[in-house]
């Protein structure tokens, strides 16, 4: 009788230990991955062709505007400013390569587009800072 009670207690302890290791059972596990599932869904969600074209057009206009501003800044730029513009142009080149790939494929996930638009905003902020140091 003692062996049965002892085995029962051991099984109970093992079961409770396993339950705790799983993060409180299935619900605890699901709550922990909820944000991850949302992120994965966003990465797989594709943009509509119309929205993709609109976003590409907008980013190309922004690139064009930044190039126009830089061409005006080069006339009286110091060597430090020229280096900053050089770095900006390399970043713009990388961005245009990404945009070109998306345009060639004809599709992009919403996550990819958000990333590209975030990079564009960062470049515009840096451009504003460069304009302020004239």
pLDDT tens column, 66-118: 999 999 888 888 898 899 999 999 999 999 999 999 999 998 999 999 999 99
Asked if the structure places residue 20 within a domain, the reply is no
Asked if the structure places residue 27 within a domain, the reply is no
List the domain range (segments joined by +) for residue 50.
Answer: 43-132
- pLDDT (0 to 100) of residue 55: 92
- pLDDT (0 to 100) of residue 9: 55
User: pLDDT tens-digit profile of 8-54?
Assistant: 555 555 565 555 555 555 444 555 566 666 666 656 789 899 999 99
Asked if the structure places residue 23 within a domain, the reply is no
Q: Give the count of domains, the chain.
A: 1
Percent of the chain beyond pLDDT 70?
Answer: 66
Asked if the structure places residue 119 within a domain, the reply is yes
Asked if the structure places residue 128 within a domain, the reply is yes
Asked if the structure places residue 34 within a domain, the reply is no
Asked if the structure places residue 5 within a domain, the reply is no
- pLDDT (0 to 100) of residue 76: 85
Place of tokens 């051991």: 10
Asked if the structure places residue 74 within a domain, the reply is yes
Tell me the C-alpha to C-alpha distance, in Å, between residue 23 and each of 11, 27, 31, 35, 49: 19, 8, 10, 16, 42
Q: Higher pLDDT residue, 31 or 56?
A: 56
Determine the 3-state secondary structure of 130 from DSSP: helix
- pTM for the model stands at 0.63
């Amino acid at each position: 009788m003692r062996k049965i009670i002892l085995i029962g207690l051991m099984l109970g302890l093992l079961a409770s230990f396993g339950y705790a290791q799983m993060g409180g059972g299935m619900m605890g596990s699901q709550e922990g991955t909820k944000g991850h599932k949302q992120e994965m869904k966003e990465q797989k969600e594709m943009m509509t062709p119309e929205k993709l074209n609109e976003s590409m057009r907008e980013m190309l206009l922004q690139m064009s505007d930044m190039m126009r501003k830089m061409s005006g800044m080069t006339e009286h730029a110091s060597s430090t400013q020229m280096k900053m513009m050089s770095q900006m142009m390399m970043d713009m080149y990388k961005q245009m390569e990404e945009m070109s790939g998306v345009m060639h494929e004809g599709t992009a996930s919403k996550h990819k587009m958000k990333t590209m638009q975030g990079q564009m905003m960062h470049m515009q902020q840096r451009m504003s800072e460069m304009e302020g140091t004239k």
